[in-house]
């Protein structure tokens, strides 16, 4: 239900691309049933609701315009503050963005815990019934088949070309060129995602969160 409202809001806002998450996506790979519900949600909005029949269904709405002005003003405050801190990178190094997100998250959770903000089914309008969603379990046989397929691909590919592409990728990653053409060539040479990621990790390292207190 929430995803339907979120998707509708995106369409009303003029989105050019839309993906609705499946209801179990936070728990595991989505089941076929949940994927179909997510897809049908988009299709109902697109073909039954009528909101896609006009370019801007909310044009002229005072509330939307006022809300847009408020968001723009608050966003500009953040931009000015980040500029005062020496730019985005300096602000990240100082933990500014992460601290702001954490504080906003804390305020939000407090408003839920205190009952100030209603979350249907969580802190209000709850039921005693325990919902246990169906979880997609990938059979071990499927995993084994994929491992064997990967081994076969690596055994049958042009190994010299694959290794050459990995070297090219490393050189490109160390420069300022666009990586996408090289990545496409890597895939066309049957270089695996794991091999690609290993090279990129070797060049760029692994992102670690700044500790903010």
pLDDT at 212: 63
Query: Is the per-residue pLDDT at 195 higher than 90?
Result: yes
Share of the chain above pLDDT 70, in %: 98
Q: For the segment 31-62, what is each residue's pLDDT rounded down to a tens digit?
A: 999 999 999 999 999 999 999 999 899 998 99
Q: What is the mean pLDDT of the chain?
A: 94
Mean pLDDT calculated for residue range 104-117? 97
pLDDT at 132: 84
Query: Please, which residues have CB within 8 angstroms of residue 21's CB and are 6 or more apart in sequence?
Result: 3, 38
Query: Is the per-residue pLDDT at 210 higher than 90?
Result: no
**In the block, residue with structure tokens 């994929």:** 146
- Within the chain, how many helices (H) and strands (E) appear? 9, 0
Query: Is the per-residue pLDDT at 151 higher than 90?
Result: yes
pLDDT at 184: 98
User: Do the beta carbons of residue 51 and residue 12 sit within 8 Å?
Assistant: yes
3-state secondary structure of 38: helix
3-state secondary structure of 124: strand
CB-side neighbour CA atoms (13 Å) of 22: 18
Q: How confident is the model at residue 136 (pLDDT cuts 50, 70, 90)?
A: confident
The two three-digit tokens of residue 72, written as one number:
């723009």
Query: Please, which residues have CB within 8 angstroms of residue 127's CB and are 6 or more apart in sequence?
Result: 121
pLDDT at 207: 81
Q: At 167, which helix (H) or strand (E)?
A: helix 159-174
User: Do the beta carbons of residue 135 and residue 164 sit within 8 Å?
Assistant: no
CB-side neighbour CA atoms (13 Å) of 77: 7
Mean pLDDT calculated for residue range 170-197? 97
pLDDT at 8: 96
User: Do the beta carbons of residue 8 and residue 51 sit within 8 Å?
Assistant: yes
């Amino acid at each position: 239900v929430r995803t339907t409202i979120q998707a509708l809001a995106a369409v009303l806002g003029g989105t050019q691309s839309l993906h609705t998450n499946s209801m179990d996506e936070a728990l595991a790979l989505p089941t076929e049933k949940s994927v179909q519900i997510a897809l049908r949600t988009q299709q109902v909005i697109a073909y039954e609701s009528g909101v896609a029949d006009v370019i801007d269904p909310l044009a002229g709405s005072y509330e939307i315009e006022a809300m847009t002005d408020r968001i723009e003003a608050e966003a500009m405050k953040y931009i000015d503050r980040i500029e005062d801190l020496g730019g985005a990178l300096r602000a990240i190094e100082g933990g500014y963005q992460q601290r702001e997100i954490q504080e906003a998250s804390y305020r939000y959770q407090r408003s839920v815990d205190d009952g100030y903000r209603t979350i249907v089914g969580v802190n209000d309008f709850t039921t005693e019934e325990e919902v246990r969603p169906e979880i997609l379990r990938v059979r071990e046989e499927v995993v084994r088949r994929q491992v064997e397929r990967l081994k076969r691909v690596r055994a049958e590919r042009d190994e010299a070309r694959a290794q050459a592409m990995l070297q090219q990728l490393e050189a490109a990653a160390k420069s300022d060129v666009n990586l996408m053409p090289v990545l496409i060539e890597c895939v066309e040479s049957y270089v695996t995602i794991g091999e690609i990621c290993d090279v990129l990790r070797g060049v760029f390292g692994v992102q670690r969160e700044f500790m903010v207190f």
